[in-house]
Amino acid sequence: MADRIDLTLTVNGADHRVSVPPFARLLDVLREDLRLTGTKEGCGEGECGACTVLLNGQVVNSCLVPAVQAQGAVVVTVEGLADGERLSSLQAAFLAHNGAQCGFCTPGMLLSATDLINRCPNPSDDQIRDGLAGNLCRCTGYAKILDAVHTAAADTGAPR
């Protein structure tokens, strides 16, 4: 019988301390312990990217991260992208280009695209496809998402 651990982590800039089983999924810690339900569960096996968050600045599938490995970590979820009511440029671009339809993949898409623009401020189509290859969307056909990422990258001020 595994003892619970005291997990401390910073999520969207706020420090949290929760008592969880060591092998609890980061996804469940976020959704159930911290009530941050923006992060979605799709496949539960690292295929679909719906549960994507940033863990210490890297995109991860939160369904594949045991809580014990998030000890002391800095996490960003979709709730951390907007500044109050002000959307991030990427969120605004998704809205403008209809980059979301049912919306289930959108939190993961936004996190992967945020990471992509951080690493690669002026991405080519191929770089966007590579950066978003782990995020499945069954609605949009991806073209609108690519358009949104291009627009957001341009808005971020990188020379094209």
* Interaction site with another protein (CB under 8 A): 1-3, 21-25, 44-47, 49, 52, 58-61, 63-66, 68-69, 71, 112, 115, 130-131, 133-135
Q: Which is nearer to another protein, 102 or 133 (CB)?
A: 133
Q: Which is nearer to another protein, 13 or 58 (CB)?
A: 58
Q: Which is nearer to another protein, 5 or 87 (CB)?
A: 5
Other Cβ atoms within 10 Å of 141 Cβ, number: 10
Question: Hey, CA dihedral for 81, 84, 90, 91, is it positive or negative?
Answer: positive
Beta carbons of 80 and 57 less than 8 angstroms apart: no
Q: Nearest approach, Cβ of 11 to another protein (angstroms)?
A: 18
Q: Nearest approach, Cβ of 108 to another protein (angstroms)?
A: 9
DSSP single-letter state for residue 107: H
Question: Hey, CA dihedral for 99, 74, 125, 121, is it positive or negative?
Answer: positive
Q: Nearest approach, Cβ of 13 to another protein (angstroms)?
A: 21
Q: Nearest approach, Cβ of 143 to another protein (angstroms)?
A: 17
Q: Which is nearer to another protein, 22 or 121 (CB)?
A: 22
Strand ranges across the sheet with 74-76: 14-20, 5-11, 74-76, 52-55, 58-61
